[in-house]
């Protein structure tokens, strides 16, 4: 059954920022791949919690602390349900980057012998391998580089085709008996391409390897069921899905989280402490040391409620249409090269491109002068830019509140930038 059509004009009334102008123009925000805007429902939820329930969750015995703890854990349940997992399998983090580092450093602790026999499957050493892809954000590359350096394991990389798709033939060759971890992005933040999750999971699990999914660019834009995807771990960030900064989530299978040695240690994640040793709580609390990002978690729950209310299938369809419009418009501009797969390949409403003869920062500044916000640079993904012979690109990324007219305005501005900078053909 086809989902109800999304009306971005109606939704925009929920977002206060769209009432402003930038450089004398109505504000056009096409940088949601970096950070999304927040609706009133999210802003109000965080403010209401702060005004009425501020207290130390899981610590105080007084009435307000008890109420705050219930609200905090209810937020966990709502966010977990949004991605198809159980509340006990969702760990609060500051962002997705912290979540990936948590996994990598916990595996490092296991490699030092921490965690006992239960943690043996997380131990790495010489001869073991970690597999990533050429399309990764630095946050899903550098932690694995560091883990390899600390343990003596080898980092191996699945390459990309000239169309920006993962080379599954290479994946089948690289993933083998020595592979301990396969880490990849569900959706590339540069190429917009959707990874073949089922194929990579099957290859990894065939050899007993753990799958770590970077879901930062998928959870906000696609209907994602992490349990159905059969990944072992996954991370995503609140600020990319209408929520606040400072909060993200790590999903892990319950049996894995409870066997994984903790990373951050301190208060609230222990059962018994002596001057010589400590014993730790089960997951998720064993990974939530110290005072948590409580109001932010409450606001993130409000964000998933908002997304649920709109409908993720409707958001998918809306962004798919905007993405196709971007690609078609950019394809008509001479000297513009889009990175990644073209029309007809599954992808989200995101396009990174290079304008021949104009630096990406100059393109972005030209658009900004018209009130159009886009991302410029290497988008924390230098290797993929290097793969396609670019030092930087301009990225347009749409979300549920963007209109076709805004996409057209951005594409027209890119075309006009060529004339402004004098790179038109004779």
Q: What angle do CA 304, 183, 390 make, to 5 degrees?
A: 95
Q: Which of 380, 403, 412, 416 is catalytic?
A: 380
Which structure tokens are listed for 280? 């730790």
CA gap 173, 300 in Å, rounded = 40
Relative to beta strand 179-185, strand 210-214 is: parallel
Helices (H), 152-242: 168-174, 197-206, 226-229
CA distance to 12, 127, 203, 396, per residue, from 403 (Å): 10, 51, 40, 13
Give the 3-state secondary structure of residue 230: coil
CA gap 81, 183 in Å, rounded = 23
Which structure tokens are listed for 285? 């609390």
Query: How buried is 310 (Cβ within 10 angstroms: 0-12 exposed, 13-18 middle, 19+ buried)?
Result: buried
CA distance to 258, 334, 363, 417, 423, per residue, from 356 (Å): 52, 9, 11, 11, 8
CA distance to 9, 55, 358, 363, per residue, from 25 (Å): 17, 43, 23, 17
Which structure tokens are listed for 193? 């391409």
CA gap 251, 211 in Å, rounded = 11
Which structure tokens are listed for 221? 């834009």
Computed over its alpha carbons, how large is the radius of gyration of the chain? Answer: 22
User: Residue 145 belongs to what H/E stretch?
Assistant: helix 142-151
Which structure tokens are listed for 98? 């912290």
CA gap 371, 215 in Å, rounded = 30
Is 380 among the residues known to form the active site? Answer: yes
Q: Are 213 and 195 in contact (CB under 8 A)?
A: no
Task: Please report how many Cα atoms fall inside a 13 Å half-sphere around the Cα of residue 326, on the Cβ side.
Answer: 31
CA gap 36, 315 in Å, rounded = 14
Catalytic residues: 380
């Amino acid at each position: 059954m086809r989902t109800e059509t999304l009306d971005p004009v109606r939704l925009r009334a929920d977002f206060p920022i769209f009432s402003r102008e930038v450089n004398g123009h109505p504000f056009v925000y096409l940088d949601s791949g970096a950070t999304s805007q927040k609706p009133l429902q999210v802003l109000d939820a965080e403010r209401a919690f702060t005004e009425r329930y501020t207290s130390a969750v899981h610590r105080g015995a007084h009435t307000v602390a008890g109420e705050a703890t219930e609200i905090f854990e209810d937020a966990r349940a709502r966010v977990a349900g949004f991605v198809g997992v159980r509340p006990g399998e969702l760990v609060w983090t500051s962002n997705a980057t912290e979540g990936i580092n948590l996994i990598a450093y916990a595996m490092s602790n296991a490699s030092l012998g921490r965690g006992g026999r239960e943690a043996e499957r997380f131990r790495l050493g010489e001869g073991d391998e970690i597999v990533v892809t050429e399309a990764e954000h630095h946050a899903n590359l550098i932690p694995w580089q560091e883990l390899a350096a600390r343990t003596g394991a080898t980092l191996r990389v699945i390459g990309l085709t000239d169309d920006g798709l993962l080379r599954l033939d290479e994946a089948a060759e690289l993933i083998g008996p020595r592979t301990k971890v396969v880490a990849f992005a569900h959706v590339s933040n540069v190429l917009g391409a959707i990874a073949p999750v089922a194929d990579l999971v099957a290859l990894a699990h065939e050899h007993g390897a753990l799958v770590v999914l970077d879901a930062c660019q998928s959870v906000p834009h696609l209907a994602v069921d992490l349990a159905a995807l059969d990944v072992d771990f996954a991370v995503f960030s609140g600020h990319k899905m209408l929520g606040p900064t400072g909060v993200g989530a790590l999903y892990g299978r319950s049996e894995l989280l409870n066997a994984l040695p903790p990373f951050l240690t301190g208060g609230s994640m222990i059962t018994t402490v002596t001057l010589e040793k400590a014993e730790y709580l089960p997951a998720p609390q064993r990974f939530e040391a110290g005072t948590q990002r409580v109001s932010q978690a409450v606001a993130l729950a409000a964000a998933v409620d908002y997304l649920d209310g709109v409908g993720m299938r409707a958001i998918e369809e809306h962004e798919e249409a905007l993405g196709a419009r971007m690609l078609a418009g950019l394809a008509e501009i001479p000297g513009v090269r889009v990175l990644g797969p073209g029309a007809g390949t599954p992808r989200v409403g995101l396009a990174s491109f290079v304008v021949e003869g104009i630096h990406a920062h100059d393109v972005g500044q030209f658009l900004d002068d018209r009130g159009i916000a886009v991302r410029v640079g290497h988008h924390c993904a230098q290797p993929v830019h290097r793969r396609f012979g670019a030092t930087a690109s301009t990225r347009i990324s749409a979300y549920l509140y963007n209109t076709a007219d805004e996409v057209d305005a951005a594409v027209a501005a890119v075309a006009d930038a060529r004339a402004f900078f004098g790179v038109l053909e004779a």
